[in-house]
Structure 1
Amino acid sequence: MDVISRFCKIYTDICQISPDDLESVYGKDIVFIDPITTHQGIGEVKSYFSNLLTQAQSCKFDIADVFVCSKEKDSRSKVTHVVNWTMRLTLKNNSKHITLDGTTQLGVVNDTIIYHKDYYDLGEMVYEHVPILGFVIKKIKGKLAS
């Protein structure tokens, strides 16, 4: 099984893995970026996932598309694959359900992911679920849409 297949399998249900399983897809010098922060190295990524696992009751990704952008040796950028997904997250503390669409850019070298960058609407994931702030953000989005 190649690294992209292993990646898709792990992300099927993040709550069913251990942080050590991440070493089967990510290199020791992985650069993992999301809209909140950047994690450098497998140790930081494992710590990030450990924290997620303590807060999430369920975290599943429905992967819709995997696009190959370039071969490793032909790549002028660090991105070799683009993955489109829908995340379904249920938090333990309040059983809140969050559904979020996103895209991930991956860089693969020697069957190992060395670069991972997530793109998603942080407002949709976090801010819209804060009681008063969520109301305000939804109103602003509504005004901008009309």
Structure 2
Amino acid sequence: MDVIGRFCKIYTDICQISPDDLEHIYADDILFIDPITTHHGIDEVKRYFSNLLTQAESCKFDIADIFTCSPNGAKEYPSSHSKVTHIANWTMTLTLKDSDKQITLDGTTQLGVSGDSIIYHKDYYDLGEMVYEHVPILGFVVKKIKGKLAK
């Protein structure tokens, strides 16, 4: 199974893996970026996932599409991180341990693959939809603002 296949398998339910499993898809010098923070290196990514695993009851990704990027259209990234080679569109379903409420969120991930490892991972999703809209008073305000902007 290639690294993209292993990526899809691991993200089926990341609460069913150990942080050490991430070494099967990510390079030692992985650059992992999401709307919350940036992680440099496999050890930081493993700590990030360890924290998630203590808080999440379930975190599943339904990966709808994986697109391979053409070399001519791929964006160059600084340092040792090469071009974006794949784009993944997904829907995440997250259930936290202290809540029975499910959060469903659509997103996209840019991946850079070199050899048989992912060296670049950048997630795009609506942080407000994931976090802010689920905070009682703040959620009400965010939804009102979105409603006004949509008119």
User: Could you state the TM-score of these two structures normalised by the residue count of structure 1?
Assistant: 0.96
**Runs of 4+ displaced beyond 4 Å:** none
1:108 equivalent to 2:113? Answer yes
Q: Secondary structure at the match of 1:51?
A: helix
Are the structure 2 counterparts of residues 75 and 133 from structure 1 closer, same or farther at C-alpha, using a change threshold of 3 Å? closer
- What runs of 5+ residues in structure 1 fail to find an aligned partner? none
| CA deviations over 1:66-120 (Å, ceiling 9, x no partner) | 000035xx95522000000000000001222100000000000001000000000
Deviations 1:43-84 (A, max 9, x none): 00000000000000000000000000035xx95522000000
- Pairwise CA RMSD of aligned residues? 1.5
Matching residue of 2:70: 70
Alignment of 1:33-72 (within 5 A): 33-70=33-70
Is residue 2:11 matched to residue 1:11?
Answer: yes
Q: Could you tell me which residue of structure 1 aligns to residue 92 of structure 2?
A: 87
Helix, strand or coil at the partner of 2:63: strand
Which runs of 5 or more structure 2 residues have no equivalent in the other structure? 77-82
Q: Secondary structure at the match of 1:12?
A: coil
Q: Which structure dedicates a bigger proportion of its chain to helix? A: 1
Aligned equivalents of 2:130 and 2:86: distance in 1?
24
Change (3 A) 1:76 1:98: closer
Question: Which residue is equivalent to 1:123?
Answer: 128
- 2:145 equivalent in structure 1: 140
CA distance in 1, matches of 2:101, 2:34: 21
Count of residues in correspondence between the two structures: 145
State the alpha-carbon separation in 1 of the partners of residues 58 and 70 from structure 2: 33
